[in-house]
Chains A and B, each alone.
Chain A
Amino acid sequence: MRFLFKTAYEQDIRLFRDNIAAAWYGILAVVVLLLPSVLSGYYVGEITWVFIYGICGVSLMVLVGYTGLLSLGHAAFLGIGAYAHAYFLQQGLPWVVSVALAIGITTACGIVVGLTALRMTGIYLAIATLAFGVIIQEVFTRWESVTHGFAGMAVDSPVLFGLQISGVSPFYYLCAAVLVLTLWLTRNLLRSPTGRAWVAIRDSEIAAQSMGVNLAVYKSIAFAYSAALMGLAGALFAHKIAYLAPDIFNILMSIQLLLLVIVGGLGSLHGAVLGAIFVALLPPTIAILRDSIPATLSEFAGATGIGLIGAVGRALGEFLRKPGVEAGIFGLILVLVILLEPLGMYGRWVKIKLYFSTFPLYKRNTFRRQKSYMRSERLR
């Protein structure tokens, strides 16, 4: 059984819910620290992607999940961060200064976009950010003196305070540290008045305004902070991918980032990280399944003597090998998540946890969605 027993208002805004939760996070931290010594280099590299996507996820979660502003152009911020960082490194600036400058530039862009976006809502905002993304991508292609256009731009491994961070494991630790820092900073922001103002804006702009929340200021802050985190992620992204080309940062990338926060679970930082795990690890999983499904099934067919299973396995492997299938699988998962579990992976986790903590008394209707006839967004 679980007891909700609060004795102080402070308990609502603590960093960790209680000591037990803190202990779990400690265990998670130890696991993350030990992973590189257990896993092979390939897997460590893939998990590094989880950390980088995690930073992107936190960035978009602040904007979409907490402030309720939809952006279809966030790949542009990622690209600006990546290109700015790569450019400043080429100019011979130290790593820390370069990252700081990259963050500064993306923040400035975020403020500009945020100010334009102040008057727009819903679909207009989505299209405006999409337009921004398309324009920035074209800028990456054409501004050859800085970005080298389609010729691309090589990025060396980072040098931190004279220390060359080469190899898979050191970079893994760097990304993990940055992600933890990001999560901590964001969590602190979210439990401060700023974060509560964001949530208020998400839930009802009019109510927030009536309570004295300055919409313009807090929306701009959300955009700027989100863009800054994207810039930071972009800097790490540049190192990880090692070779920048303008068509990486296209609309599909923006959609993938949105998919990350939705599959992970909107409105929670856990969701950002869970979504990052999903987005970063699904392609390698598909690649593994592509080879293992036909093999396993044909083995099974050989053991049981049913030829049909082997044929099905071969057909599945053949199907997964076709170009463009990965996007379709992402699309299918997205559709299923939105239809069946709108709160994403974290929502499902909360339900499972509640089931066990209230064991015999769990009521399915606790999380029942209210059916509204139609909620009009034409009126604001």
Chain B
Amino acid sequence: MTLNGLAVGCIYGLVALGFVLIYKATELVNFAQGDLLMLGAFVAYMAVVSWGLDYWMGFLIAAVAVAAFGALLDMTVLRRVIGQPQFAVVMLTIGLGAMFRTFASVTWGSEIYTLPTPFSGVTNIAGVTLSHQYLSIVAGTLILCGVLYAFFTHTRIGVAMQATSQNQLAAYYMGIPVKLIFSLVWAISAAVAAVAGILLAPVTLIDINMGLAVALKAFAAAVLGGFGSIPGALAGGIVIGLIELYAGATLPPGFKDTAPYIVLLAMLAVRPQGLFGTLGRKKV
């Protein structure tokens, strides 16, 4: 059972990771992350079921398509609002999210779809039954995090991204193409969301509102970990997933959905900057 919580927590962590990546680089808060997740799942469904492609091929197509879409979104829309007040950006991405949901409901309808996956069996380890679906989520998250970590620390572009997120102006003076980096960050973040969507698809099934529910929890996760801290986002996601699961199992009904938020509020009241967050005070 802990594995289930861990798996759901990993999904929250992945979506939260997407938020944090964008926030660290561009200081924009992307409320449409959940809807990118939904789009990723739908594209994968279309590739696998409608076009009859292999699961891994569909996986790749969905990730690349959503990544390209994320980059396009940055170039056309979000680049214009950099420097505007934060809530304008929040509302902008909420509006974008609503548009994506409408697009999905017009294109694919409001039915519920299932994505066939190669992970269907169960494994017994020391008397505990582990479902492959959940194992695949945890493994996928671990692999993705490893790849991202290597990318950010060992490649030129990754290091350039770190530099940009620390100080845009200085990075620009060093000859880093800041605009391109922003688009790349959006692409990576969208791809992470798409992967999360594909991994989540067998568990929650695909419908147009799957992203919204996940995104709200993932937000809680990102804030719990301190917005702007990548390990914090993953840790926050796993904590939220476990809390949700255990609250659902042990507390009266109704606490399953609210317990993560109650914990979040309690934590924010004590530590307003999150678990791993840093909140500087402006010097004047």
A positions within 8 Å CB-CB of B: 64, 70, 116, 119-120, 122-124, 126-128, 130-132, 134-135, 138, 141-142, 206, 251, 255, 258-259, 262, 319, 322-325, 327-335, 338-339, 342, 371-380
Contact = CB atoms under 8 A, between A and B. Distances in A.
A130 B223 CA distance: 12
Contacts of A380: 279-282
A42 B84 CA distance: 40
Contact of A70 (B82, B90, B216): B90
Contacts of B228: 378
Given A334-B98, A373-B83, A379-B280, 16 more contacts: A70-B87, A123-B223, A130-B219, A138-B257, A138-B258, A142-B254, A206-B284, A251-B216, A324-B102, A325-B106, A332-B95, A335-B92, A339-B77, A373-B169, A374-B82, A378-B228
Given A335-B96, A339-B92, A134 B216 contact: yes
Nearest to B172: A373
A264 to B, nearest CB: 13
B90 A132 contact: no
Contacts of B282: 206, 379-380
A378 B88 contact: no
A377 B254 CA distance: 35
Interface of B: 23, 27, 29, 77, 80-84, 86-88, 90-92, 94-99, 101-103, 105-106, 110, 168-169, 208, 216, 219-220, 223, 227-228, 253-254, 257-258, 261-262, 264-265, 268-269, 272-274, 279-282, 284
A325 B90 CA distance: 21
- Tell me what chain A mostly uses at the interface: helix, strand, loop, or mixed: helix
Contacts of B254: 138, 141-142
A339 B80 contact: yes
29 contacts: A116-B269, A123-B227, A126-B87, A127-B220, A127-B264, A131-B262, A132-B261, A134-B257, A134-B261, A135-B261, A135-B265, A138-B257, A142-B253, A206-B284, A258-B87, A324-B102, A324-B105, A325-B102, A331-B97, A331-B99, A331-B102, A334-B94, A335-B92, A338-B88, A374-B27, A374-B168, A377-B86, A378-B279, A379-B281
B219 A128 contact: no
Contact of B258 (A70, A135, A378): A135
A134 B258 contact: yes
Q: Which 3 A-B pairs have the closest CB atoms?
A: A328-B102, A331-B98, A334-B95
Contacts of A130: 216, 219
A251 B284 CA distance: 37
B233 to A, nearest CB: 13
A376 B95 CA distance: 23
Contacts of A142: 253-254
Given A331-B95, A375-B83, A378-B279, A119 B220 contact: no
Given A138-B258, A334-B92, A116 B98 contact: no
A18 to B, nearest CB: 32
A371 B83 contact: yes
Given A70-B86, A120-B268, A373-B168, A324 B110 contact: yes
B219 A374 contact: no
A262 B88 contact: yes
B268 A124 contact: yes
A123 B92 contact: no
Contacts of A120: 268, 272
A378 B254 CA distance: 35
